[in-house]
């Protein structure tokens, strides 16, 4: 099992200098990856500072040598696929083959899409996601790309350089379990990042009502999701199953037991979820400095 840290791009983590310090600390402490949220804002009229995830990831790629890194997740429906392809290939080249592309619909739809006059309907955004991913894939694999779809048109494009990783940068698909549509989508790509379906829609967020811990999966849920995706893999090949959550600082045995349960359920990655609800940035940095939860 691999171990990474998973952080927002806002609040204390919206300071790119903090993100660089966190990445260097994580690499030195033996973590395997660092993955960054890709939000424009969390709620309407947000006063929480944020940084651009892609600029921060580029800086992290230049300052590290071993960490896997990438957006987790970038909302493909608000991206132009050719621009996204250029960014992920550039990140892969800059990091010498360490990039991962985490993708999803994007949430909350009202803050990320609606207030900018963009599409909020989940079904429409799902079609945009699938078409956008197909274009991003082809631009990494093929020398001459033509595409005429529902939302996008590409005419006779050669897109160089190709990524370091072949045939392309791995794609991890995020979605809420037990919704089946995003899991069927994940089965067509390289990994799945399941989150628990919220009991209420993710709308009207404020600093007072955000509780990310409600999105964490249990080992049993991870196992069910992994089995669902595996049964729908077209070739039965290996894929990544990404689990996330929090371990308590200062109790390494308990942390190792918690993460081992996810590994036994089929997870290939554990992502330690850091945010300001858990403590100050300095406290979380010290937690990361103690190393990943492994024997």
pLDDT, tens digit, 9 for 90 and up, residues 248-281: 888 899 999 999 999 999 999 999 999 988 899 9
Question: Mean pLDDT across the stretch 44-68?
Answer: 94
Q: How many CA atoms lie within 13 A of 254 on its CB side?
A: 6
Query: What does the pLDDT average to over 62-77?
Result: 97
Can you give the pLDDT at residue 235? 86
- Assess contact for 244 and 273: CB atoms under 8 A: yes
- Strand partners for 192: 173, 241
The pLDDT of residue 208 is: 47
Q: What is the mean pLDDT of residues 15-27?
A: 98
CB 164 within 8 A of CB 140: no
Q: Calculate what percentage of the chain has a pLDDT beyond 90.
A: 79
Instruction: Name the pLDDT band for 222 (thresholds 50, 70, 90).
Output: very high
Listed residue (175, 105, 171, 94) closest to 138, CA to CA: 171
The pair of structure tokens assigned to 192 is 């799945």
Cβ-proximal residues to 42 (8 Å cutoff; 6+ apart), any chain: 10, 48, 108, 111, 205, 210
Question: Is the pLDDT reported for residue 214 higher than 90?
Answer: no
| Single pTM value for the model | 0.94
pLDDT at 211: 62
pLDDT at 277: 86
Domain boundaries, the chain: 32-239
Indicate the fold that domain 32-239 takes in CATH: TIM Barrel (3.20.20)
pLDDT exceeds cutoff 60 at 4: yes
pLDDT on residue 201 = 52
* pLDDT tens-digit series, residues 178-213: 999 999 999 999 999 999 987 655 555 444 455 666
- Grade residue 76 by pLDDT with cuts at 50, 70 and 90: very high
Residue 133 makes CB contacts below 8 A (sequence gap 6+) with: 76, 81, 103, 171, 189
Give the model's confidence band at 42: pLDDT under 50 very low, under 70 low, under 90 confident, else very high.
confident
């Amino acid at each position: 099992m691999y171990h990474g840290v998973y952080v927002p791009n806002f609040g204390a983590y919206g300071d790119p200098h903090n993100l660089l310090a966190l990445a260097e600390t994580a690499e030195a402490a033996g973590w395997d990856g660092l993955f960054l949220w890709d939000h424009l804002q969390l709620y309407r009229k947000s006063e929480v500072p944020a940084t651009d995830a892609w600029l921060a990831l580029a800086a992290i790629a230049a300052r590290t040598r071993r960490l896997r890194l990438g957006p987790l997740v970038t909302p493909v429906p608000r991206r132009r696929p050719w621009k996204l392809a250029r960014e992920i290939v550039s990140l892969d080249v800059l990091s010498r083959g360490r990039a991962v592309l985490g993708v999803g619909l994007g949430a909350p739809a009202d803050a990320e899409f609606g207030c900018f006059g963009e599409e909020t309907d989940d079904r429409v955004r799902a079609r945009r996601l699938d078409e956008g991913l197909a274009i991003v894939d082809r631009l990494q694999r093929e020398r001459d790309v033509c595409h005429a779809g529902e939302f996008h048109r590409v005419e006779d494009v050669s897109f160089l350089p190709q990524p370091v990783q072949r045939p392309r940068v791995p794609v991890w698909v995020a979605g809420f379990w037990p919704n089946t549509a995003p899991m069927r989508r994940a089965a067509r790509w390289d990994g799945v990042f399941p989150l628990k379906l919220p009991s209420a829609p993710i709308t009207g967020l404020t600093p007072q009502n955000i509780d990310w811990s409600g999105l964490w999966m249990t080992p049993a849920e991870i196992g069910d999701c992994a089995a669902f995706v595996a049964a729908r893999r077209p070739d039965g090949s290996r894929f990544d199953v990404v689990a996330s959550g929090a371990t308590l600082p200062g109790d390494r045995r308990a942390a190792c037991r918690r993460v081992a349960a996810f590994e036994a359920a089929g997870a290939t990655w554990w992502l330690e979820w850091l945010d300001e609800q858990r403590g100050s940035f300095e406290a979380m940095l010290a937690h990361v400095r103690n190393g990943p939860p492994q024997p």
